[in-house]
Homo-oligomer: A and B are copies of this chain.
Amino acid sequence: MASRATRRSDCAIAGTLDLVGDRWSLLIVRDLLVTESLRYGDLLASHESIPTNTLADRLRKLEDAGILTKERYQDRPPRFAYRLTERGYALAPTLDALATWGTTHLPGTRRLIG
């Protein structure tokens, strides 16, 4: 998690963007809002074709930020499933606002959540 020492400022928006301000993190949160628990392969198969190294990186950062948790569902080889924490579910209003802006201002887009 971005510590207070590494934050760019004390602005709550900047602090949140330090954690999820990229093209992919909030799409992972979106998928976990739609389906409560997803395996790595499920997330990899999402519409937007996230590159596997990007997915692994973002999952680790989101776990570090306390936004999702992973649980091992298979030992050999180890396989994990991911779900949102309470902190992660609390991002739902942000995703809702992004979806509202998109459906209003980007013709041809549609709301996949809520």
Contact = CB atoms under 8 A, between A and B. Distances in A.
Interface of A: 4, 7-18, 21-24, 26-27, 30, 47-49, 66, 87, 90-91, 93-113
A112 to B, nearest CB: 5
28 contacts: A4-B107, A7-B108, A7-B109, A8-B48, A8-B49, A10-B109, A10-B110, A12-B100, A12-B112, A13-B27, A13-B95, A13-B98, A13-B99, A13-B113, A14-B27, A14-B47, A15-B109, A16-B106, A17-B23, A17-B27, A18-B23, A21-B24, A22-B23, A90-B105, A91-B101, A93-B97, A94-B101, A96-B97
A9 B102 CA distance: 12
B12 A99 contact: yes
Nearest to A96: B97
Q: How many copies of the chain does the oligomer comprise?
A: 2
Q: Which 6 pairs show the lowest CB-CB distances between chains A and B?
A: A12-B102, A12-B109, A9-B47, A94-B97, A8-B48, A16-B102
Contacts of A112: 11-13
A106 to B, nearest CB: 4
A110 B11 contact: yes
